[in-house]
């Protein structure tokens, strides 16, 4: 358990449990992390909002994974917004921060700045991927783009793939504190019903969009009443309470759920972090022949690569790349 005065709330995820309702959850606050993610690019406002939402969802979902594991969100569509990708790297050791990165690909000529971004994703899928490390097969769960927001897609994923009733309430945007410059801030709450002993639920007659499962299809009786009551309480939250910084997450939990017996656990700090490196770029190019590498070579005689997440720029001797390389990678040193 964490003493309340020991928690620094910005760029943290606070796990909690509602003892009366048999519900667990998390409160996340992102400020410097989100500012760093979005400062890597000059996205239109509608793209910034989608990346902010995806990063906040990633922080809330990723906090459950084990040390050294990686969780990723991938949103792909056939509209002007083509890809939104995020990664959550669990801490390398106890007490260390987790790392988050995020990026989006879009057609600048087709994006409408006056239209909400979610509708510009088009038809596609929302995926959660879990990489447990070397020697394991990554897990992947996919649900269709539906529901009107990325948060709704995530709720559908948990209902359909994990059969866990889940609720997200998020707020994000630019804000300015007295005496400070404008910066991005985001905050959100995730609620999730504890897993049932027997999680299988038939999908016939599911009430979600497109015939997918929703929370009401999974819970009934006292569980359903508890879930409904907790959601009604969460409906009373205000946007400024979510993003802070005047309202601490612990105070927010007491205000919303004091009758549900809220219990908080150790907060997890998060920071911006990227895993790109020259070796990983080389590995990604190792499938190409010398002919393919020649097509990638610039007039200056090098092959360049840029990390979409952090903006790092790499340059390589083409003869050191691909499965037909004729020089050692040390030649680039």
Long-range contacts of the stretch 87-92 (C-beta < 8 A, 24+): 87/58, 87/275, 87/309, 88/58, 88/59, 88/61, 88/62, 88/63, 89/273, 89/275, 90/62, 90/65, 90/66, 91/67, 91/268, 92/67, 92/68
Name the region of 36 (left: φ>0; alpha: ψ -120 to 50; beta: rest). alpha
Per-residue tokens: 55: 């990063």
Whole-prediction pTM value? 0.85
Residue 246: its pLDDT value, please? Answer: 80
Per-residue tokens: 202: 């038939």
Q: What angle do CA 72, 74, 79 make, to 5 degrees?
A: 165
CB contact at 8 A, 323 and 330: no
At residue 106, what are phi and psi to the nearest 5 degrees?
A: -150, 160
Gap between the Cα atoms of 146 and 3, Å rounded: 40
Gap between the Cα atoms of 58 and 18, Å rounded: 22
Which positions of the chain have pLDDT values less than 50? 1-7, 197-200, 202-203
Q: Dump pLDDT digits (tens) for 51-63.
A: 999 999 999 999 8
> What are the start-end ranges of the E strands in the chain?
12-18, 23-30, 70-77, 81-89, 98-106, 124-131, 139-144, 166-175, 183-193, 262-264, 268-272, 303-306, 313-316
> What are the start-end ranges of the E strands in 159-267?
166-175, 183-193, 262-264
Gap between the Cα atoms of 96 and 93, Å rounded: 6
Residue 88: its pLDDT value, please? Answer: 96
- The residue written with tokens 């959100």 in the block is 188
Per-residue tokens: 90: 């669990």
* 151: DSSP letter: H
Q: What angle do CA 216, 126, 42 make, to 5 degrees?
A: 130
Residue 214: its pLDDT value, please? Answer: 61
Per-residue tokens: 29: 């606050």
Q: Dump pLDDT digits (tens) for 294-325.
A: 999 998 889 988 888 888 889 998 899 888 88
Which domains does the chain show, CATH number per domain? 7-272 (3.55.30.10), 279-332 (3.90.1280)
* CA quadruple 239, 241, 245, 246: dihedral sign: positive
Residue 177: its pLDDT value, please? Answer: 64
Per-residue tokens: 79: 């509209």
* CA quadruple 47, 186, 257, 95: dihedral sign: positive
* 10: DSSP letter: T
């Amino acid at each position: 358990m964490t003493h309340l005065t020991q928690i620094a709330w910005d760029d943290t995820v606070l796990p909690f449990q509602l003892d009366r309702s048999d519900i667990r959850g998390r409160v996340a606050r992102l400020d410097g992390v989100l500012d760093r993610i979005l400062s890597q690019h000059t996205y239109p406002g509608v793209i910034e909002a989608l990346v902010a939402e995806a990063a906040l969802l990633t922080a809330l979902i990723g906090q459950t994974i084990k040390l050294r594991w990686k969780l990723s969100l991938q949103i792909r569509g056939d509209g002007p917004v083509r890809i939104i990708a995020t990664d959550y790297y669990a801490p390398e050791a106890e007490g260390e921060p987790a790392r988050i990165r995020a990026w989006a690909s879009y057609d600048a000529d087709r994006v409408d700045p006056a239209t909400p971004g979610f509708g510009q994703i088009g038809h596609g899928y929302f995926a959660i991927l879990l990489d447990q490390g070397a020697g394991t097969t990554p897990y992947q769960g996919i649900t269709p783009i539906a529901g009107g927001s990325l948060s709704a897609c995530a709720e559908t994923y948990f209902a359909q793939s994990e059969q866990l009733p889940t609720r997200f309430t998020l707020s994000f945007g630019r804000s300015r504190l007295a005496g400070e410059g404008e910066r991005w801030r985001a905050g959100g709450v995730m609620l999730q019903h504890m897993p049932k002993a027997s999680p299988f639920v038939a999908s016939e007659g599911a009430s979600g969009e497109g015939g997918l499962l929703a929370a009401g299809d999974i819970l009934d009786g006292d569980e359903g009443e508890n879930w409904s009551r907790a959601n009604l309480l969460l409906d009373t939250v205000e946007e400024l309470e979510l993003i802070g910084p005047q309202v601490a997450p612990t105070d927010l939990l007491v205000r919303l759920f004091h009758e549900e017996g809220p219990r908080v656990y150790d907060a997890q700090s998060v920071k911006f972090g990227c895993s790109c490196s020259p070796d990983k770029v080389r590995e990604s190019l190792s499938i190409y022949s010398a002919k393919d590498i020649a097509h990638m070579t610039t007039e200056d005689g090098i092959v360049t690569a840029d990390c979409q997440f952090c903006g790092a720029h790499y340059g390589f001797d083409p003869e050191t790349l691909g499965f037909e390389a004729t020089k050692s990678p040390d030649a680039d040193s």
